[in-house]
């Protein structure tokens, strides 16, 4: 059977002036696909086996190519947006005809020239299309355990959950909402720490180090901000979490840990106005 979106080895059924027609092992005259003449060796003969990729050309006809696309069915790939139209975006996947990414398959707005992690599927009209909604193509059982460092790509951001991450372009990962600090967008590559392996194998991630290591970085950041603000920050341990996140991009818990460290080291003092650098 000839399948769209897959690399297959097919046999030459007949040779014509426009190319060769290929068929699968179970030969039927209605199950042939054209490999254009420009991609056929002059020595090709009936019965020869050729490895090809199956897709549809600009006239929506099924066709074979010996060129290897950047993406096939059941895999994920980073593809660049080459055009944005009223009906969706088009991606460069290494073939003459660009790959269509419908609006309904975009988990966020895309920008021309930027790359996004996508999968490949066959739509209801029997056409190959790209999707950024790759949740169903990821698997749960990963080799990672708590505190392991992982590499991933953010493919969706949901306000009520956090950032969905494809770890190694293969495994399910989530940066929970309370761990998502910073200006992150779909397509961003991140290095994260596994904070929990759920019962189903999916990974909860954090962009921050373990608390005792992160505390030093947060304390250094607060000192740097104090120096740039003339030695005063209008924040204290009673400030709201939202204001702390807006000004320092950390949680209130992390803020209070860092303050405790700086107070213990006598590097700051708390006043009615907020935080000041210690005079010592």
Domain 139-206, CATH:
2.40.50.140
* φ and ψ at residue 184, rounded to 5 degrees: -110, 150
Model pLDDT, residue 112? 95
Out of 19-28, 190-199, 206-215, 242-251, least confident range: 206-215
pLDDT at 209: 65
Distance from CA of residue 257 to its chain's centroid? 33
- The residues near 232 (Cβ < 8 Å, ≥ 6 apart) are 226, 273, 274, 275, 276, 277
Report the topology of domain 76-135: OB fold (Dihydrolipoamide Acetyltransferase, E2P) (2.40.50)
**What would the mean pLDDT of 136-144 be, rounded to a whole number?**
92
Can you give the pLDDT at residue 240? 86
Mean pLDDT of all residues in 96-105 = 94
CA distances (Å), origin 223, targets 27, 30, 215, 216, 269: 74, 73, 12, 11, 12
pTM of the model: 0.70
Report the distance separating Cα 24 and Cα 31, nearest Å. 8
Lowest mean pLDDT among 109-118, 152-161, 262-271: 262-271
- Give the pLDDT score at 201: 93
Q: Kindly state which CATH superfamily the domain 7-65 is placed in.
A: Nucleic acid-binding proteins (2.40.50.140)
Q: Which of 68-72, 143-147, 200-204, 215-219 has the lowest mean pLDDT?
A: 215-219
- Matching CATH topology for 76-135 and 139-206? yes
Q: Are strands 275-277 and 268-270 parallel, antiparallel or unpaired?
A: antiparallel
pLDDT higher than threshold 70 for residue 27:
no
pLDDT digits (tens, 9 = 90+) for 258-277: 888 788 888 888 887 788 88
Q: Mapped to the 3 state alphabet, what secondary structure does 130-188 carry? A: EECCCHHHCECCCCCCCCCEEEEEEEEEECCCEEEEEECCCEEEEEEHHHCCCCCCCCC
Which CATH fold would you assign to the domain 211-277?
Arc Repressor Mutant, subunit A (1.10.10)
pLDDT in the model for residue 270: 84
The structure tokens 């990729």 sit at: 53
Q: Count each helix (H run) and each strand (E run) in the chain, helices first.
A: 3, 18
In this prediction, residue 106 carries a pLDDT of 94
- Residue 208 — pLDDT band, cuts 50, 70, 90? confident
Mean pLDDT of 23-38: 79
**pLDDT of amino acid 159:** 85
pLDDT at 148: 93
Q: How confident is the model at residue 26 (pLDDT cuts 50, 70, 90)?
A: low
Q: What is the pLDDT of residues 170-202, one digit of tens each?
A: 999 999 988 887 778 888 889 899 999 999 999
> Could you tell me the residue ranges of all domains in the chain?
7-65, 76-135, 139-206, 211-277
In the predicted model, is pLDDT for residue 236 greater than 70?
yes
């Amino acid at each position: 059977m000839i399948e769209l979106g897959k690399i297959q080895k097919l046999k030459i059924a007949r040779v014509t002036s426009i190319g060769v027609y290929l068929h699968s092992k179970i030969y039927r005259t209605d199950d042939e696909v054209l490999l254009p003449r420009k991609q056929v060796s002059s020595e090709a003969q009936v019965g020869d086996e050729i490895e090809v990729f199956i897709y549809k050309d600009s006239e929506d006809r099924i066709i074979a190519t010996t060129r290897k696309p950047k993406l096939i069915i059941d895999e994920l790939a980073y593809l660049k947006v080459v055009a944005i139209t009223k009906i969706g975006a088009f991606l460069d996947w290494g073939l003459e005809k660009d790959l269509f990414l419908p609006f309904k398959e975009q988990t966020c707005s895309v920008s021309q020239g930027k790359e996004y992690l996508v999968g490949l599927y066959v739509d209801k009209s029997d056409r190959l299309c790209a999707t950024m909604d790759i949740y169903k193509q990821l698997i749960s059982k990963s080799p990672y355990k708590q505190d392991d460092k992982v590499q991933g790509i953010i493919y969706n951001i949901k306000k009520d959950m956090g950032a969905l991450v494809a770890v190694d372009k293969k495994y399910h990962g989530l940066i929970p909402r309370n761990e998502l600090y910073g200006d992150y967008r779909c397509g961003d590559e991140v290095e994260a720490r596994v904070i929990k392996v759920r019962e189903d194998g999916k990974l909860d991630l954090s962009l921050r180090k373990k608390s005792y290591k992160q505390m030093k970085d947060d304390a250094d950041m607060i000192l740097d901000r104090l120096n740039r603000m003339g030695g005063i920050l209008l924040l204290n341990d009673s400030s709201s979490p939202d204001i702390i996140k807006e000004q320092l991009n950390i949680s209130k818990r992390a803020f209070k840990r860092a303050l405790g460290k700086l107070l213990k080291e006598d590097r700051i003092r708390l006043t009615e106005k907020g935080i000041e650098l210690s005079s010592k």
